[in-house]
Amino acid sequence: MKTYMLLVLIWVICITGCTPASQQNDATTVVPAASTPALAAPPCQLTLGMDAWEPYQYVTVGNTPTGLDVELVQAVVATMGCQLNVVQGSWLELLALLKDGQVDFVLGASKTAERESFAYFSEPYRKESFQLYVRSEHANLPYNDLNAFVSAGHKVGVVNEYYYGDEVAALYADETQRDKFVGAIISELNVARLLDEEIDGLLEDRFVGASILRRKGLDKYIQPHSISLGNSDVFVMFSKASVSEQQLQQFNQGLQQLHTNGMYNQLMEKYSN
């Protein structure tokens, strides 16, 4: 009997000694720092929301993102030690993703008070000029500005959520003129509407407009009118939901570095020729 009780006691001691530390009330396990394997810090990841807008941003036949704006930002992101991911979509879709922090930044943006509520803006990195494009037979219509064009009853195609400057914003705010502006998700839809005579003109960046007409062989059918909206600054727009002010400063420093080392001028010349 004693032998049996002794065996039971030994069995209980063994079971108690093998209980996991997490189940022991007073047990604390300390792992020496030296024995913990060093974990590599994850690389900086930035997601670009890209709206096809040749020659500034587009995808090649091999599905590679490229263009003036894309090459500029790739060079800047490299100075930050970050990896760049790309998400494609329409401008309207990308703005929604930017607000939610699902994309970190978009290119070719204009600065507005509304956008500053959810976005940071880089230093300006280039200028843009919007041009009015019309059917060839209307290229010489005698209008000096966009106000005169729409006041005569002509309809103008625009891309939803693009900012074309104060002149267009003021005209759109006028309820008597608002119906003269017809929105589209992409510029190519405005081109089709212009050819179908659903609209009388469309607004587009002059380099983008020239690229669309050249690629589609429409130079004989659509031409730029003398009406333009002047030059305005263009910015990289960052999501406040996913990008810190420190990263914004790093981006601006990298942008300045491109100006200093001459890469900025090289890229501008590449796409100007």
* 186 shares its domain with 240: no
Return the pLDDT at 40: 53
Q: How many domains does the chain have?
A: 2
* 119 shares its domain with 51: yes
Tokens 């189940």 sit at which residue? 23
* 198 shares its domain with 64: no
Return the pLDDT at 18: 37
* 157 shares its domain with 119: no
* 153 shares its domain with 197: yes
For residue 230 the two structure tokens come to 């002047």
* 56 shares its domain with 86: yes
**Boundaries of domain holding 222:** 128-231
For the stretch 26-80, pLDDT in tens is: 332 223 333 344 455 557 999 999 999 999 999 998 889 999 999 999 999 999 9
Q: Is residue 21 part of a domain?
A: no
* 54 shares its domain with 170: no
Interatomic CA distance for residues 37 and 20, integer angstroms = 23
Residue 165: other Cβ atoms inside 10 A: 17
- Percent of the chain at pLDDT > 70 equals 85
For the stretch 74-105, pLDDT in tens is: 999 999 999 999 999 999 999 999 999 999 99
CATH number of residue 255's parent domain: 3.40.190.10
* 143 shares its domain with 112: no
- CA neighbours within 13 Å on the CB side: how many for 218? 19
Q: Is residue 18 part of a domain?
A: no
Interatomic CA distance for residues 241 and 212, integer angstroms = 34
* 76 shares its domain with 122: yes
* 209 shares its domain with 188: yes
Return the pLDDT at 273: 74
* 194 shares its domain with 250: no
For the stretch 223-258, pLDDT in tens is: 999 999 989 999 999 999 999 999 999 999 999 999
Residue 30 DSSP label: -
